[in-house]
Structure 1
Amino acid sequence: MFPGARADRTAARYVVVGAPLDVSTTFQPGTRFGPDRVRRFSRTFDDYDHHTDSRFTDLSVHDAGDVHAWDDAGDYLQFLRGTLTDVLADGATPLLVGGEHTVTRAGVEAVTERDDSPDDLTFVCLDAHLDLREEYDGNPLSHATVTRHVLDHADRAVILGARTGSEAEWERASEPDVTVVPPSEVADWTPDFDGQAYLSVDIDGADPAFAPGTGTMEPFGLTSREMHRVVRAVAPRALGFDVVEVNDRDDGQAATLAGKLLRAFVFAHAAAGDGTADAEDESVDAEREP
């Protein structure tokens, strides 16, 4: 169980769902261990959050465990989408813990395909990679294709911290429905879009100095503080959240950061109300964090 996620499923406002998919990792596998490691390395966190003057155990979080993964990514994503759709139908916000980044597709589809889906959805992603490929090594469901697939459902994508991609990906990123914010500009970025969001955190958006436990490390990345500020700024507008690409190849740095960012999302989202609030006030507060 994610520490502090002790609410009953029927009364939960937030539901943690583990998605240990690990079939298309292109360098260092191990994301199948991600959900368990995030839970494990979150055990030492204090319950109280001074930014919001609230306690995690008071915010009605439930841990539904893992959706056991299998080799057919397409079938798995469809099943996972159904699980997340049930969470949303019950009036709760899904907190998806990967697993490879491919699982984000299920989260976005669940948010956009429900009866009361938003008219205007922005996909906000902290990521080292553009993930705009049509396929990778012949696999159209590779984790390197997730943002391209998400754009079949979201109106636009904002990729924060991207610093690598193929020539074709950078060309796709130049189109009007994609905004790339380089690492050097993330510290000054504020949510400048209308409507609601889906927030995805690929832990490799962090510089490897902060989170070496991930499949494809990229230097010159974000600090943990910059990622924290973005999560807290976007959370008030978010209908869903995920943190992905944590593996077991470090001493817990990546999992610890992932767990902290998940909790930061819950604290900020709960403080804002129903996830439809203006993120401006939260982003201003985030600028003041120590």
Structure 2
Amino acid sequence: MFPGTRESIDRDAAEYVIIGAPLDVSTSFLPGTRFGPDRIRQFARPFDDYDRRTDLHFSACGVIDQGNVRAWDDATEYLEWLNGELTAIIRDDALPVLLGGEHTITRAGVDAVMPDVFVCLDAHLDLRQTYDGNTNSHATVTHHISKIDTIEEILIIGARTGTETEWERATAADVTIVSPTDLTAGFDVTTWIGDRSSYISVDIDAVDPGFAPGTGTPEPGGITPQDARETVRAAASSAVGFDIVEVTDRDDGQTASLAGKLVRDFIYTHYAAKT
């Protein structure tokens, strides 16, 4: 269980439901995202229950952990099953918090909550239509999300690499790219979202691998952990769904620790905004 979650409340009384999605079938470089959900839980153990910034106790925010949805090697079938699990959470008036798993799982999350905008922290554009002959790859996730009917715009924060075709696609009116330099210069994600509902996806490789080396496709030149935390906090209040993906076991816990902290930052901020 994610530390600080409540065993004493039923799901229909929960505000947030954490669910692990350990999919690891299209990883194109370093595998290990199957270990991400449990590793995030493990390295969140030393965190204090109290958050001074919001004056909240995590254990009082109505969070439960539903465990993992066991993954198998058919990504299409898995996403359909995961979407059903997430839809059931939403019907119980709770907000789903997904722990990945490869970035492919985000498709199920966005499709379940049907937000107005998609806010993604990611080193990669993920706007390919296919990767190594696979149309359902972690490298195609944002392309597929752009096709979801409810999505008006996509914001990719921390992007610094992609194919020539992807960069051309990213010049379209429905995509906004914020480089690490742009973010440092003061890009305002809250203003960009406005009064629209959002889904927030954190691909941990948005963070520089010097801080978060435990990921499948590390890309130097990324954002700092504090940049990531401030961005999640700024975007949280509008969110109807959240995930954190691409954490692996290929470090000493730095990456999973940051991921766990971002989950808590999101829940603290979201809960404070609605109470």
Supply the distance in 1 between the matched residues of 2:166 and 2:182 (Cα, whole angstroms).
20
Residue 3 of structure 2 corresponds to residue 3 of structure 1: yes
Supply the distance in 2 between the matched residues of 1:92 and 1:77 (Cα, whole angstroms).
20
Aligned to 2:197: 196
- Within the candidate set 52, 77, 80, 1:78 is matched to 80
Q: Deviations over 1:148-189 (max 9, x none)?
A: 111112211100000000000000000000000010111312
Supply the distance in 2 between the matched residues of 1:128 and 1:135 (Cα, whole angstroms).
18
- Opposite residue 172 of structure 1, the aligned amino acid is R
Aligned to 2:118: 123
**Given the two structures, how large is their TM-score scaled by the length of structure 2?**
0.96
- Opposite residue 88 of structure 2, the aligned amino acid is D
1:11 deviation in Å?
1.3
Supply the distance in 1 between the matched residues of 2:179 and 2:188 (Cα, whole angstroms).
13
**Given the two structures, how large is their TM-score scaled by the length of structure 1?**
0.91
Q: Deviations over 1:41-62 (max 9, x none)?
A: 0000000001100000000000
User: Counterparts of 1:229-248 in structure 2 under 5 Å?
Assistant: 229-248=230-249
- Within the candidate set 85, 91, 94, 1:92 is matched to 94
Aligned to 1:186: 183
Q: Deviations over 1:191-224 (max 9, x none)?
A: 2133111000000000001100000000000000
Aligned to 2:143: 148
User: Counterparts of 1:1-290 in structure 2 under 5 Å?
Assistant: 1-6=1-6, 7-112=9-114, 121-153=116-148, 154-187=151-184, 188-191=186-189, 192-194=192-194, 195-273=196-274
CA contact (8 A) 2:11 2:92 kept: no
Supply the distance in 1 between the matched residues of 2:206 and 2:180 (Cα, whole angstroms).
9
CA contact (8 A) 2:14 2:62 kept: yes
Supply the distance in 2 between the matched residues of 1:220 and 1:262 (Cα, whole angstroms).
23
Supply the distance in 1 between the matched residues of 2:44 and 2:68 (Cα, whole angstroms).
16
DSSP 3-state at the match of 2:23: coil
DSSP 3-state at the match of 2:85: helix
Q: Deviations over 1:8-52 (max 9, x none)?
A: 323110000100000000000000000000000000000000110
Work out the number of aligned pairs and report it: 267
Q: Deviations over 1:102-139 (max 9, x none)?
A: 00000000011xxxxx5xx1100000000000000000
Supply the distance in 2 between the matched residues of 1:146 and 1:104 (Cα, whole angstroms).
7
- Opposite residue 111 of structure 1, the aligned amino acid is V
Question: Aligned residues: percent identity?
Answer: 59
Supply the distance in 2 between the matched residues of 1:237 and 1:157 (Cα, whole angstroms).
14
